[in-house]
Amino acid sequence: MRVLTRSGSAPATYQRSASAFRTPARSLSISAAVLLVAVLPQLLSPTNLGIANLASIAIVGAVALNMLTGMAGQVSLGQAAFLAIGAYTAVFTTVTLHANMFVGVPLAGISSAVVGMIIGVPSLRFRGFYLALTTLGLHFIALYVLQKYQVHAGGLAGFVLPVQHIGSRELLDDSDWYYPLALCAVIAIVFSFNVSRSRVGRAWVAVRDRDVAAAIIGVNVTRYKLLAFATSSFFAGCAGALAAYYRGNVSIESFSLDVAIAYVAMIIVGGLGSTAGAVMGAILITGLPFWLGNLVNSLPPGWPVVSHLALSIYALQSAAFGVVIVIFLIYEPRGLIAVWARVKTWLLLWPFQRAESEE
Amino acid sequence: MARVTSMIPTSTSTLEDQFGCIARGRNCGGGSPMREFLQATSDGVSLAAIYSLAAASFVVVYRATNVFNFAQGAFMLLGGYLTFEIVDRFGVSTPVAVVVSLLLMGLIGAGCYQAVLRPMTGQPVFAMIIVTMGISIIVVGLVGVVWGYSPRTLPDVLGDGQIALVGGARISYLNAASVGVSLSAVVGLMAFFRFAPLGLRMRAAAESPVLASRRLINVERVNMLAWALGAVLACLAGALLAMRVGIAPSMQSVGLRAFPVALIGGFDSLRGALIGGLIVALLQTYAAILWGAQVQDLVVFGSMLVILLIRPYGIFGTREVLRV
């Protein structure tokens, strides 16, 4: 019990300070999280398990974008384009190479990373809004090219992908997909978390905070910016391919600009720069439309307003999603992770916390 | 995405494709290449009127508040639908409805500033961009909730008449009027920023909010008025668009094209909004004729990338000098 109630931690060595399991409480919470992920299929209803699967894919994508935008400070509206490139690489792997997802997902990552490197080149000159516009332009160009490919190779309606296997086991429903997708999410989380503790992660943060100063202390800005784009788009491509195999179909309409904004919303709602934040944001933003749908359905059905809302549920979901973005940016720009930090501080100081918070 | 079958009975093209087709002229196909070229130019110029207004809406907000506003596409949409609703519900004539919805949109723009932008003063540029995107998503979503996804068209008050131009090209009264409205609005704004006391205050507030407030300029009020003005311009563009081809939620992509327009002209330049609108609209119209409607976004954003690489501050924009 003492490990949990002790206030603050004081690592005595640098190694300890950078350790993933810095405090006993953290080891405990990581073990609890792993346990939770392992038993989740037993706890959730089939619908919620489907949301969990979508959230796993979103976690891979959000963690990827967080490495680029949160850690390295490079604004990108091109996430939907990277997901699309991943998904269409999966299509290409199936249609042309006749290979399964164990080839398709890594290949999607690699092709997306190559495009990411190219898209990263303008970031050497631009930052902020100009970079956002550049990636916006590339979003439209990538979508145009992929649409041409779709019309050329598959027809207007898009592609249907075959059922995937692991060994001899077919991946048919949500419970079959849960562990493979959760494993991918865990890999992405562990990778991102370890990068943030490494030399590369520190270089990214230096570039984000002030690139000129980073260059002066010996960080190769060009290299690390391009590395950030490549790493991020690798994982984004993987996420796109995973989503394609999971859903079983690919069409260009599912990669609109709204998707790119949704991913930006995930990392902002979670807390920019924090892997744990990206995970929380991905879960929240993925679940939001479903929860809102349930909420509307649970309203008394007699009112005309309610039936109108139920009819236009799609528009309502997208509006709610904008409301979440705006509210977080106004009231908690540092995201859910800051809320968590405040709760933690409150608990650690209990019962000696001050009546008003210090900020 | 909204499918339209009622407006062009034989095709299942989306409204956006149709937008490209109508940009090609009411009499698609037929005529000599020269005539087709002149017709395309005429239609491109009238399309430029809408683009210039949308870009001017962006420039006004940027010039006065230093915020890159991603919401003006959504404001265009809302303005178009509001105008439609007023005509539809109260049976007033279109010009009256436009004036009323301009006033309403001004209030909405000011409200957006008060509710969202003012509390966020001092946050990084990126957060500001995303919050305007958030506004945009909310507005588009609410438009979807209230009006659904089927397109609406405003009655064309000017009738079906056309003015003959050189070489057999024609321009409809409506398009000629849009060019006039847009030109006078933007030129009026240029004069406003140059001579009117409020315009000068807006420029001062953008240049340095701290110094401006020391000279007794109420920066927050000035910013609010700039947002109102931006929303009014966007609404005007939306109403013109609604009369031209009709309006549907997917039309916010037309609003997105205001960024290339503003960027090519220069973010802080109204003259740039005019010229940029002309360049983008003509490029898009010619490309639609040569390679079909689907290449429009490619051409528009491709030309934006080219400009970004060679002259990121645009044709008339102020060169940004970054000191470390």
Q: Using alpha carbons, select from A145, A52, A355, A352 the residue that is nearest to residue B298.
A: A145
The string of pLDDT tens digits covering residues B276-294 is 999 999 998 888 888 877 7
Nearest chain A residue to B122, by CA: A330
Is the pLDDT reported for residue B94 higher than 90? Answer: no
Query: Under a CB-based contact definition with an 8 Å cutoff, are residues B70 and B133 in contact?
Result: yes
pLDDT for the residue B321: 67
Q: Say if residues B140 and B74 touch (Cβ distance below 8 Å).
A: yes
pLDDT tens digits, A36-46: 988 888 888 88
Chain A residues within an 8 Å CB radius of B139: 322
pLDDT at B4: 33
Contact A265 B130 (CB under 8 A): yes
Nearest to B138 among A129, A144, A322 (CB): A322
Asked whether the predicted pLDDT for residue B107 surpasses 90, the reply is: yes
> Which chain A residue has its CA at the smallest distance from B115's CA?
A330
Asked if A122 has any chain B CB less than 8 Å from its own CB, the reply is yes
Instruction: Give the distance from residue A252's alpha carbon to the nearest chain B alpha carbon, in angstroms.
Output: 12
What's the confidence (pLDDT) of residue B16? 45
Residues 203-262 on B with a CB inside 8 Å of A are 249, 256, 259-260
Nearest CA-CA partner of A274 in A74, A76, A26, A71: A71
Interchain pair A325, B134: CB under 8 A: yes
C-alpha to C-alpha distance for B226 and B63, rounded to whole angstroms = 9
Which 118-147 residues of chain B touch chain A by CB within 8 A? 119-120, 123, 125-127, 129-131, 133-145
The more confident residue out of B294 and B200 is B200
pLDDT value for B44 = 86
Residues above pLDDT 70, as percent of chain A: 96
β-pair partners for B163: B171
Nearest to A137 among B130, B133, B301 (CB): B301
Contact status, residue A137 vs residue B306, Cβ threshold 8 Å: no
In this predicted model, what pLDDT tens digit does every residue of A325-355 receive, in sequence order?
899 988 888 888 888 888 888 887 777 766 5
Please report the pLDDT score of residue B267 as a whole number. Answer: 81
Q: How far is CA B13 from CA B10, B155, B191, B252, in A?
A: 9, 22, 42, 17
Shortest alpha-carbon distance between residue A320 and chain B (Å):
7
Q: Do A318 and B143 touch (CB under 8 A)?
A: no
CA distance B177 to A81: 39
In a mutational test of the B interface, the residue from A329, A331, A332 whose CB has the highest number of chain B CBs within 10 Å is A329
Confidence of residue B26 (pLDDT cuts 50, 70, 90): very low
CB B69 within 8 A of CB B61: yes
Q: Which of B138, B143, B149 has its CB closest to that of A326?
A: B138
Amino acid B243: pLDDT:
84
The mean pLDDT of A128-142, rounded to a whole number, is: 85
Kindly determine whether residue B126 and residue A140, on different chains, have CB atoms separated by under 8 Å. no
- What is the model's pLDDT at position B226? 92
Tell whether B306 is within 8 A of chain A (Cβ): no
Residue-averaged pLDDT of chain B: 81
What is the rounded CA–CA span in Å between residue A21 and residue A4? 14
CB contact under 8 A, A144 and B294: yes
Give the whole-angstrom CA distance, residue A160 versus residue A150: 12
Q: What is the pLDDT of residue B191?
A: 92
Contact A108, A238 (CB under 8 A): yes
Reported as a single tens digit per residue, the pLDDT across B144-191 is 888 887 788 877 666 667 777 766 677 778 888 888 889 999 999 999
CB of A137 within 8 Å of a chain B CB? The answer is yes
Interchain contact, A322 vs B301, CB within 8 Å: no
B291 and chain A: CB distance < 8 Å anywhere? no
Quick check: A258 and B123 CB within 8 A?
no
| Spatial distance between the Cα atoms of A95 and A104, rounded to a whole number of angstroms | 11
**CB contact residues (below 8 A), chain A span 283-322, against chain B:** 308-309, 312, 314-322
- Overall average pLDDT of the A204-226 stretch: 92
CB A71 within 8 A of CB A201: yes
Q: Which residues of A touch B1 (CB under 8 A)?
A: 253
Closest residue of chain B to A213, computed from CA coordinates:
B324
For A56-96, the pLDDT digits (tens) are 999 999 999 999 999 998 888 899 999 999 999 999 998 88
A325 min Cα distance to partner chain B (Å): 6
Angle between helical axes of B33-65 and B258-265 (0-180°, round to 10) = 80
Chain B CB contacts of A320 below 8 Å:
141
Strand partners, A160: A249
Which chain A residues are Cβ-neighbours of B266 within 8 angstroms?
A: none
Check CB contact of A132 with chain B, cutoff 8 Å: yes
Shortest CB distance from A137 goes to which of B127, B133, B304?
A: B304
**Which residue spans within chain A are E strands per DSSP?**
159-160, 165-166, 169-170, 249-250
Q: Is residue A142 within 8 angstroms of chain B, CB to CB?
A: no
**DSSP state string for B48-107:** HHHHHHHHHHHHHHHHHH----TTHHHHHHHHHHHHHHHHHHH---HHHHHHHHHHHHHH
Count other Cβ atoms within 10 Å, centred on residue A351. 4
- Which is more confidently placed, B10 or B133? B133
CB-based contact, A130 to chain B, within 8 Å? yes
Which residues in chain B have Cβ-Cβ distances shorter than 8 Å to A308? 145
The reported pLDDT for the residue numbered A228 is 95
Residues of A in contact with B134 (CB under 8 A): 265, 322-323, 325-326, 329
Task: For residue B305, give the nearest of A132, A134, A323 by CB distance.
Answer: A134
pLDDT for position B159: 67
Q: Which residues contact B153 (CB under 8 A, 6 or more apart)?
A: B7, B84, B242, B243, B245, B246, B247
Q: Do A333 and B135 touch (CB under 8 A)?
A: no
User: What is the average pLDDT score of chain A?
Assistant: 86
Q: Report percent pLDDT > 70 for chain B.
A: 86
